[in-house]
Chains A and B, each alone.
Chain A
Amino acid sequence: MKRNWIVGAAAGAIVLGAAQVQAQQSVFMPIVIEVSGNGAVSGTNFRDGALMAIDEINAKGGILKRKINAPVSDTQSNPGVSRAQVQKAIDGDPYVILGPVFSGSVKVNMVLAQQAEIPQMTGAEAAEITQMGNDYIFRTSFGQQMSMPKMAIFVANSLKAKTVAFLWVNNDYGKGGRDVFFKEMAARNIKIVADVSTESGQVDFAADIVKLKAANADVIFIYTNEEECARVLREARKQGVKTPIIGETNVISQKVIELAGDTANGVKGHVGLTADAPIPAVLEFRDKFQKRFKYLPDHNGIKGYTAVYAVKQATERLGKFDRKALAKSLHGMTITPAQEPGILIETTWDAKGDIDRISFLVEVVDGKQKVVEIVPKLGK
């Protein structure tokens, strides 16, 4: 009996030891993301981009010889669920948390990561996320305070519009973008002639398009999530809208083009990231992604991919796994493709965790994004 007890204890110790060795050999980077719900399009792109980067890094031996362990948990595009998932991730003592994308979710869960002093690489774009004094939140794309001024310059200088009809989604992302854009328009003396609020997950946009048409603006600006963008474009075609349609990132994304079909043709806008950017590294990423996941990535795919490589590069510069040091070093860090090819485009994080890099003015032509102009980094 006593012998059995000793054998059992020894076996337990071996199992525990093996688990510990396994834990030491890997670095825990959970992906908390929108796999279902209204944010599924954005979330699955981000997830797949991140998983592709993780597999590439692991195939080459990992970060500082430790493989990345990145389980995926679904926020269901629900802020409450996202908070619970981030708490669960924190209980596993992660090095970094990847995601989510929805601003409303990030606003409620980033506090948990901040309290636990865990860097969080988010795909969210709402302006206020990096303005709340959180040293552990890092964007993977432009915040609205960076993208909307670029959009305003496009509206004023390139399109020479005097009036804008604005359709936005009534969530943190939409409200944040609306507020920044309206301020930019006021500064340029451009009049907002229609301010149309819509709901996340809305399917019927007939009445909203009636309002936009009636406003008789120089341009119509669509600022909502991907699926809703596609429905808006389809409805606009149904109602014979002739006014030029513009947007920031989502309305000209690959997923919207795929869902909206030829109704997306002619839409113009500014995009912080695009898989069709005329940059060899980005095009190579796009082809690899499409080959593996059988669909074209959008900007969220690039966000997930570059987030992992940013963590890799910053950690290798530190030479150790230290969460606090990682967060500190990422502030003000610039990573170039020469230093880390996986970053794809030269990227700089400022003191608040906001990102600066080149961006693109695009037009949808024959069902594809066509880059018509490269907008330089704001810091250059």
Chain B
Amino acid sequence: MLLWQTSQTINFAQGEFVMLPAFFVLAAMKFGGLSFPLALLVGLVVALLVLGLLFKRMVVDPILRHGVLPLVISTLGLAILMKEGVKEFYAAEAQSFPGMWPATNFSFGGAVISAQSLVIIAVAIAAVALLQYFLGGTRTGRQMQATAQNPMLARVLGIPVERMILYTFLVNAALVALASFLVSPIYLAKFTNGELLGLAAFVAAIVGGFNQVRGAIVGGVLLGVIDNFVAAYWSSQYRAAIPLFLLIAVILWRPQGLLGRAEERTV
């Protein structure tokens, strides 16, 4: 969503972007002999370089000038390359990924919640708050927003548009790395993880509103809650279908998403 707003980049490899940093960490531990915290740091830096800088310079910049569609197709190809690369050079099997928090549980009035879940919720809220502050409360963030809204005018105003777009890619890379580190201890690290995560992220963003950060968050929470309620209290067989029904309904009756803004574009 960030990438779309700043550079009209639709990244169909976003799910694989979440899958890959976990393998950077595992590779750093396995081949570099690093401790887990150090490997996390290495994973983050490599993610920034590969999924931020290199992705922009080697894929987006040369292809975007030919239009959005070639870029969409390129990111689809990139997703396959990343999946097959991990399968070929690391492993086809799921890999255990260490948790960042001990596996302890707390009981609140009969309901059990794990420390791991609390940490994930806390980190997610902190990341969103930090991102919102960065975008709205700092000079660089406001320049990024200006770039997103009207790059030509931003350039006229002296904003280094190219650098702002690069920052967006780096922020995106940092966020996917964070998501990867949080989700892999539960889902295990596997080359196919991106398929599910990418689809869920797209559905959430479209349902919530593709042009609003808070829309994507609301979409994500809504889909997660519906998915789990359907599976727990109705039918686990139809759990995957319900979010897609919701997606169809939103596209039909509110194409800008639940919290999104209607946008007009010259075509």
Interface residues in chain A, defined as those with a beta carbon under 8 Å from any beta carbon in chain B: 35-37, 40-41, 44, 170, 196-199, 201, 203-204, 206-208, 210-211, 227, 230-231, 234-235, 237-240, 255, 258-263
Contacts and interface: CB of A to CB of B under 8 A. Distances in A.
9 nearest CB pairs, A to B: A207-B231, A240-B112, A207-B232, A40-B92, A36-B92, A238-B114, A203-B187, A227-B94, A210-B232
Contacts, number: 80
B99 to A, nearest CB: 9
A230 B103 contact: no
A227 B112 contact: no
Interface residues of B, number: 31
Nearest to A242: B112
Contacts of A204: 187, 227-228
9 contacts: A36-B92, A196-B236, A197-B236, A203-B186, A203-B187, A207-B239, A208-B231, A240-B105, A255-B93
Most chain B beta-carbon neighbours within 10 Å: one of A44, A207, A237: A207
B236 A37 contact: no
Contacts of A37: 92
Contact of A227 (B93, B107, B232): B93
A226 to B, nearest CB: 8
B232 A170 contact: no
A204 B92 CA distance: 19
Contacts of A258: 96
B201 interface: no
B266 to A, nearest CB: 42
B105 A203 contact: no
A227 B190 contact: yes
Given A40-B93, A197-B236, A206-B228, A237 B187 contact: no
Interface in B139-162: none
A293 to B, nearest CB: 12
B213 interface: no
Contacts of B185: 234
Given A201-B192, A203-B193, A262-B103, 4 more contacts: A36-B87, A204-B228, A234-B185, A234-B186
Most chain A beta-carbon neighbours within 10 Å: one of B92, B93, B229, B240: B93
Contacts of A203: 186-188, 193, 196
B74 interface: no
A239 B103 CA distance: 10
A208 B96 contact: no
A261 B87 CA distance: 23
Nearest to A234: B186
B184 to A, nearest CB: 10
